[in-house]
Amino acid sequence: MQKRHLGRSGVSVSSIGFGLMGLSDFYGPPSKEEAMKSLLHAISRGITFLDTADVYGDGDNERLLGEAVKSHGREGLTIATKCGIVRDKATNRPTGVNGRPEYILEACQKSLDRLGIQTIDLYYLHRVDPSVPIAESMGAMAELVQKGMVRHVGLSEANPSDIRKAHKVQPIAALQNEYSLVTREIEIDVLGTCRELGIGLVAYSPLGRGLITGSFASASEIKDGDVRKSHPRFQSENLLKNKELAEKVREMATRNHMTPAQLALSWILAQGPDIVPIPGSSRISHIDEFVDGLAIPVPFQELVRLTDLFPLGIAKGLRYPEEALKRVYMPPAPEPKSTGAAH
């Protein structure tokens, strides 16, 4: 497995990471035994950049990773986790954010305990708390670095202004944002900000939560307990339209002797050496698919064609339900390109 550097931070990770979220929560998770097998298999295939969060499974996901680390050994692994999203105790669903310094310090210690390690390699503020100045939240993150509890810090779904303010308090190693063929909004202003400051990009949901690979023929196939049931892109008419996008990827993938997932990941990796996608799956066959795809070359012309086929905003429906969208940065829509015609 080749390595990539997260910006100018000095953090070196496997060229693709592994997102653990679905092993404990949100998509109708597998049994713990199946989840552990998948996680250990990913590590055995050279995926050593492992991403979790305290909110995934309300701590269970970190415990799962902690058991895997104990089984495999800490050496060679890059452990990333997050804090800042809080759950409603009545519904057990994520409902808000907390960026208070005392909360961050407490949350980090709890994550270390669940993971069974002394230092977290990359610790993210999962969402920026609008009620707390970002400099105060980042001051707590800097304190964690000073105490040796955290090696590097990151942000997730932050706007360019907050990224700059945070970076002045404590250098940001990585920004974690949704990025895929069907979610390209970071290209408007966030990605450029990161590159100016030397911050790497960790791309979550690089397969569009299964949208790009055509995981569902209709909305009725999405099971209860799967969070995608509430996502606009997976509902009725939107999903039918988005299936057409998945078919475009499938056609091009077949032409290049690869799967849609492999082509989608190749496209992300081609967007820059400072970008690391973190696909996730509970299926060992999918993990093998991700890794095996790294060895399949894709002609440059095909990547350009794919970029043109998936312009910004092509997917039908919002990427999150409206309530969840309040906790992520949505950049302004780009100005329409001038045709140069006289008026």
Residue 201: inside a domain: yes
Summarize the confidence of residues 250-263 as an average pLDDT.
Answer: 97
Residue 248: inside a domain: no
- Choose the catalytic residue: 56, 103, 123, 329: 56
Question: Are 46 and 14 within 8 A, CB to CB?
Answer: yes
* H helical segments located in the chain: 32-44, 60-72, 101-115, 134-146, 160-169, 190-197, 236-255, 260-270, 284-293, 300-309, 322-325
HSE at residue 124, side-chain half, CA atoms within 13 A, is 26
pLDDT exceeds 90 at position 308: yes
Domain that residue 142 falls in: 3-210+264-300
Closest listed residue to residue 94, CA positions, set 282, 235, 278, 227: 227
Per-residue pLDDT, 236: 87
Is 103 part of the annotated catalytic residue set? no
Summarize the confidence of residues 156-172 as an average pLDDT.
Answer: 98
Residue 208 in tokens: 């569009």
Residue 226: inside a domain: no
Cβ neighbours of residue 157 closer than 8 Å, sequence gap 6 or more: 127, 128, 176, 177, 178, 327, 328, 329
- C-alpha 228/C-alpha 231 separation (Å) is 5
Residue 135: inside a domain: yes
Residue 126: inside a domain: yes
Per-residue pLDDT, 225: 83
10 Å Cβ neighbour count for 340? 5
Residue 275: inside a domain: yes
> Residue 64 is part of a domain; what is its CATH number?
3.20.20.100
Residue 253: inside a domain: no
Write down the mean pLDDT value for the chain.
93
Per-residue pLDDT, 150: 98
Summarize the confidence of residues 224-246 as an average pLDDT.
Answer: 91
10 Å Cβ neighbour count for 341? 5
Q: Which of 17-31, 109-123, 133-147, 189-203 comes out lowest in average pLDDT?
A: 17-31
Cβ neighbours of residue 58 closer than 8 Å, sequence gap 6 or more: 25, 87, 92
Residue 151: inside a domain: yes
- C-alpha 235/C-alpha 316 separation (Å) is 10
Domain count, the chain: 1
Share of the chain above pLDDT 90, in %: 84
Enter the pTM of the model: 0.93
Any idea what the Cα angle at residue 335 is, between residues 329 and 339, rounded to 5°? 155
pLDDT tens-place string over residues 323-343: 888 889 988 876 645 444 444
β-pairing, 85-87 with 94-97?
antiparallel
